[in-house]
Amino acid sequence: MSWFIFIVAVIVIMLLVKDIRYSLVSKPVMKFFKKALPPLSQTEQEAMEAGDVWWDADLFSGRPNWSKLHSYPKPALSEREKAFIDNDLETLLAMLDEAQIAKNMDLPKNVWKFIKEKGFFSFIIPESYGGLQFSAQANSYIVSRIASKSLSAAVTVMVPNSLGPAELLLHYGTHEQQEQWLPKLATGEAIPCFALTGPEAGSDAGGIPDFGIVCKQTIDGQEVLGLSLTWDKRYITLAPVATVLGLAFKVKDPDRLLGTNVDLGITCALIPTDHPGVEIGKRHNPLNLGFLNGTTSGKDVFIPLDWVIGGDKGIGRGWRMLVSCLSAGRGISLPALSAGTAHLCTRMTTAYAQVRTQFSQPIGAFEGIQSALAQMIADTYTIEAARNFTAIAIDMKYSPAVTTAIAKYHMTEMARNCVNHALDIHAGKGIQMCSSNYLARNYMGIPISITVEGANILTRNLMIFGQGATRCHPYVLKEMQIVAMADEELALKEFDATLMAHVQFTALNAFNALGMALTGSRLVQVKLSGQTRRYYQHLTRLSKALAFVSDIAMLTLGGELKRKEMLSARLGDALSHLYLASCILKKFADDGHQHGDLPLVQYGLEKQLFLCAKALEEFCDNFNVSVVGPMLKTWIFPFGNKFRQPSDDLAKDVCHALSTPNVVRERVGFLCYIDEKGATGIMEEAFSMKHELRSTIKEVNALRKQHTDWKKLPWHELLEKARRGDYIGEDEYQKLLRLEEIRKQAIGVDAFSKL
């Protein structure tokens, strides 16, 4: 006992006496940090400092403030936005024929004209420049709804309202540049594209070989300071028809005309595509979709410095500009494509599962179908929740790098799962390319969303945790900045204070994580009641576990963690599933805790809890640093991992909730455009009619048991017998005939005499 007291006393003295703590604790740890913490390249440093943290910081801290979550605004549209959606958007949707667009590999001329005239390229441009200046919610809603009808049109509308010339001009352009370009972009007089990706620079965008040399050139008798550009870009949407090219390149100043540095860094410029030397027009063919995507190149193309976004002050600031503005693409555009696809899949497949009959019953009655259908429905609810919540952040003027990366990765992956399940359930109908196939083009286009704005493998393995989560930690980024300070005395003083706070933070998370695990989260204090209360408790517990495990991982692996992508990806997964669960809870509350939605909410939350716990468990299983991995696993799961996938009974409840025309189904599938005369309208009509006539259908089928000679009669003959025997009236008979006609159309496919 005396030895124990002595050791405790020594530790207390070491921590409380500043001079001793400096010498024996802070200074050695600071040296260790310099070696252990991941070294950052300039582009990584700029990426780290760009953007904001938001709700992700709460989750990563281990102290999620659920009252704060519900204090964020509810998703809402202005009256002006609603009017546009009810009129101009509906008009556009009625004009679109995705099969014809794909056949012609372009939008029709009247659609291009309508899109430009009605301002579909100007959602982010202020009204003062002639734009619509819509909220992120409206932007997301509109693109989602277009995506449910035509992915080609959705991408065409999405790109000018995402990362590109307008976004960069608004944040970084000079007044003259804004006055010159924004009014033209708003009216569609100027069609923009932005060129970053090239043959040698994809995921490693910071490694672009395209360059500009600072030089002088005589123009109209005047000596002009500018850049001689050489570039070769590919995969650029709208490049074949663009009139203004946004271009990213590296600037070099070998003659030091701008200062003492030679390598000035990544820079962005706006170049009219009719400028001498600019090459555009060649097209790629992205999975046979009809949006325009292609190449651009140029060699020794001279531009004046005032074409650089931000003027000469914008030179070398291009990477920061791009990273800061990525939220639009990752947080709005690509999630919107995913939402449109998911809503389409869920609305049509829930209908098809009731309309399509096999073995004398709707295929939706079979448990195999229900299993896939429940996953699709719950994922669609989660996608919609994440779409709304992420757009809220952008409307609040945040640029949350981590949450938008989470939204991009997980929403596109969930949409991929939705369309895969939809194709499985539609079976033969889903694989026939014809006018009645409303799924195929979205199925073909899913890999595009998966790939762009940071390929999903890159996003999961490097961005969500590898770079972004460092930003969310309350102390690590500050410690990284402190150890890089030139003044060592000041650095030690600041590091000591930060280190003590960090130690306290880690210790509290460690003990809280263990305590919550031992009690099954039951003692977690949450100021919320109702049927979701236990989920808040479990999420708080897993948030504590993530914070503790992440600290231990960064302490033991340091810079190696960035290179151990399989490990860091799992920590990113845990953070992501906490975020998605938060989105579900936020949506459920914002919608007024609708009882009919509860099975979907429970299924979604149980899935996210299971996946979060699984990610943490697998991290510990693969954390091969002495005995640390097993110890961490025992600490956060002392009785083993008890989180489980949603039950079969819950899956059945989810399917039942959407098996009839009702408000729950409307809330889950409202973004799906229903073309009354097209395939989606036919399917909806068949679904509604079958539900309306369900009692009559049951009565007619019962006649087979009453009349043994009727058992094997075809349906139309059975109906005729029922009518003649006065079992059903003439009105019911005609309705049932109409239902059979529309049902056959709904499940039918085209057959061609020649392809």
179 is catalytic: no
Alpha helices in 622-693 (DSSP H): 628-636, 648-657, 663-669, 679-692
CB 636 within 8 A of CB 545: yes
Q: What are phi and psi of 40, to 5 degrees?
A: -110, 135
> In the structure encoding, which two tokens stand for residue 193, read together?
């594209």
Catalytic residue chosen out of the listed positions 46, 453, 606, 685: 453
The CA-based angle 662-667-670, given to 5 degrees, is 100
Q: What are phi and psi of 214, to 5 degrees?
A: -65, 125
Place of tokens 């899949």: 345
What does the chain come to in residues? 755
For residue 428, how many other CB atoms are within 10 A of its CB? 8
> In the structure encoding, which two tokens stand for residue 362, read together?
């709707």
| Paired sense of beta strands 244-252 and 192-195, if any | parallel
Place of tokens 């035509």: 150
**What does the CA dihedral 123, 125, 131, 132 come to, rounded to 10 degrees?**
40
Rounded Cα distance between 254 and 262, Å, is 5
Rounded Cα distance between 270 and 707, Å, is 79
The number of C-alpha atoms within 13 Å of 192 and in the hemisphere containing its C-beta is: 28
Q: How far apart are the first and last CA of the chain?
A: 89
CA nearest 396: which of 747, 71, 624, 5?
Answer: 71
CA of 368: how far to CAs of 139, 363, 380, 604, 648, in Å? 37, 9, 19, 19, 11
> In the structure encoding, which two tokens stand for residue 18, read together?
């500043």
CB 340 within 8 A of CB 143: yes
Rounded Cα distance between 2 and 418, Å, is 64
Rounded Cα distance between 483 and 487, Å, is 10
The number of C-alpha atoms within 13 Å of 209 and in the hemisphere containing its C-beta is: 11
CA of 643: how far to CAs of 64, 192, 202, 610, 617, in Å? 20, 49, 38, 5, 11
Rounded Cα distance between 261 and 30, Å, is 32
Rounded Cα distance between 292 and 664, Å, is 37
CB 548 within 8 A of CB 510: yes
The number of C-alpha atoms within 13 Å of 194 and in the hemisphere containing its C-beta is: 26
Residues taking part in catalysis: 453
